[in-house]
Amino acid sequence: MRIAYVTETYPPEINGVALTAARFVRGLRSRGHAVDLVRPRQAHEEKCDRRTEWRVPGMPIPMYRDLRIGLPVVSQLTKRWKVDRPDLVHVATEGPLGWAAVRAARANGLPVTSDFRTNFDQYSAHYRLGWLKGVVGGYLKHFHNATDRTFVPTPAMRRVLSDQGFLRTEVVGRGVDTENFSPRHASPELRASWGADENSPVLLYVGRLASEKNVPLAFEAFEAVRARVSTARFVVVGDGPLRRKLESDHPDAIFAGSQRGAALARHFASADVFLFPSLTETF
């Protein structure tokens, strides 16, 4: 099949949706599918307009200046897919570029599917915009109901969305690369760099350092552990708008920044307890 894959976020950005999208595209291509990747161009990237990838104009997200969204290039996408017609358009994100992709697919009579990956309506309360929750939720429902199928990560998420009026949902679960993410990648040297020995429990958080991730609860959990075991360590992997404040408020924590690939696997394997307090995840 020839598949047009449209996403608002993609590496070199580091976040769950970007990394999942990249794995999905690699998986499709490794199975012989031709993929036309459409995504925003990052500020430091060169222009790219090939049959396999188009980097569209974009702009920074106001709350995340290091992340970008694509502009709603409806007419350009309509023309692109009319000249080089895909068998399917798949839209991974619901931003302006995703909206444009749904419009362009429909204009060309193409089947279009979508992913529900992020509870954006729940984010509003974390940025003093709780009054927008209903508006954002209504937009998400309208967006996905305009596609032929919406893929969700769990049966529980499917039930929640169905109760809200989302139509034609299908569960496509997530996997874990057990070769890369394995206990055998544990590193005594890495633990030592954290000031931990075999008797020191190491707690680990991996994720964006942002309000919607409920990160302060992870620090509360660590302090509860440290009150019982004084040698406990807390390692924080990730970056985001809250990092500077968290570093200031918690000087004893180890902030490792963003990690990828083998380095990320070593961090997971070398810790003892994984903390992930977010209440807004879809998986």
Q: Cα angle vertex 162, ends 157, 163, to 5°?
A: 100
pLDDT mean across residues, the chain: 91
pLDDT, residue 113, reads: 98
Per-residue pLDDT of the chain (283 residues; tens, 9 = 90+): 999 999 999 998 888 888 899 999 999 999 999 999 999 998 888 999 999 999 999 888 776 666 778 889 999 999 999 999 999 999 999 999 999 999 999 999 999 999 998 866 566 665 566 666 778 889 999 999 999 999 999 999 999 999 999 999 999 988 888 898 999 999 999 999 999 988 899 999 999 898 889 999 999 999 999 999 999 999 999 998 899 999 999 999 999 999 989 999 999 999 999 999 987 776 7
- In CATH, what number does 183-275 get? 3.40.50.2000
The tokens for 225 are 């552990």
The predicted pLDDT at position 35 comes to 97
- Residue 234: C-alpha distances to residues 27, 169, 184, 187, 245 (Å): 34, 39, 21, 16, 16
* 3-state SS, residue 111: coil
What is the pLDDT at residue 15? 81
pLDDT at 16: 82
Torsion-angle region of 128 (φ positive above 0: left; ψ -120 to 50: alpha; else: beta): left
Please give the Cα distance from 110 to 108 (Å, whole number): 5
Looking at residue 128, its pLDDT comes to 64
CATH classification of 2-171, choosing from 3.30.499.10, 3.30.390.10, 3.40.50.2000, 3.65.10.10? 3.40.50.2000
What pTM was computed for the model? 0.85
The two tokens of residue 34 are 């031709």
Q: Which pLDDT belongs to residue 143?
A: 97
**Three-state SS for 116?**
coil
pLDDT attached to residue 104: 98
- Name the segment(s) of the chain with CATH classification 3.40.50.2000: 2-171, 183-275
> What per-residue confidence (pLDDT) applies to 196?
95
Question: Which pLDDT value is given to residue 266?
Answer: 97
